[in-house]
């Protein structure tokens, strides 16, 4: 099992996912997603790191846990046609 640097620090300090999430103002599942490297918006990720800073009394930045994005896609994603669906109409008889 691969353990992230963030998770290693959090666990070594005896801090729970719920504590970090509570201070960051997010759901615990979002904190866990950060730990496993899932994509999320920058502000939310920075709030998680800030919560860790508050709980540990140490100073970390987002760059300590995530590699900077060096390449952005230059080609837009293809669009797919939208399929329209209509529910059958039923009459209610009394």
Q: Is residue 88 part of a domain?
A: no
- Tell whether the model's pLDDT for residue 3 goes beyond 70: no
Q: Is there a domain that residue 91 lies in?
A: no
Q: Is residue 86 part of a domain?
A: no
Interior/surface letters 60-94, b for 16+ CB within 10 angstroms, e for the rest: eeeeebbeeeeeeeeeeeeeeeeeeeeeeeeeeee
The residue segments making up the domain with residue 51 are 5-64
In a domain, 54, yes or no: yes
Residue 10 lies in a domain: yes
User: Is the pLDDT confidence value at 70 over 60?
Assistant: no
**Domain total in the chain:** 1
List, in order, residues 6 or more apart from 93 with CB less than 8 Å away.
none
pLDDT in tens, 22-50: 999 999 999 999 998 888 888 999 999 99
Question: What CATH number corresponds to the domain at position 30?
Answer: 1.10.260
CA dihedral 78, 33, 46, 69 (to 10 degrees): -40
Residue 57 lies in a domain: yes
pTM: 0.69
């Amino acid at each position: 099992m691969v353990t992230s640097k963030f998770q290693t620090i959090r666990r070594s300090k005896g801090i729970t996912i719920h504590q970090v999430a509570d201070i960051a103002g997010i759901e615990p599942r979002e904190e866990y997603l950060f730990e496993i490297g899932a994509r999320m918006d920058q502000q939310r990720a920075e709030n998680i790191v800030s919560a860790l800073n508050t709980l540990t009394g140490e100073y970390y930045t987002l760059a300590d846990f995530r590699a900077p994005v060096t390449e952005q896609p230059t080609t837009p994603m293809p669009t797919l046609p939208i399929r329209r669906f209509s529910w059958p109409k039923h009459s209610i008889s009394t």
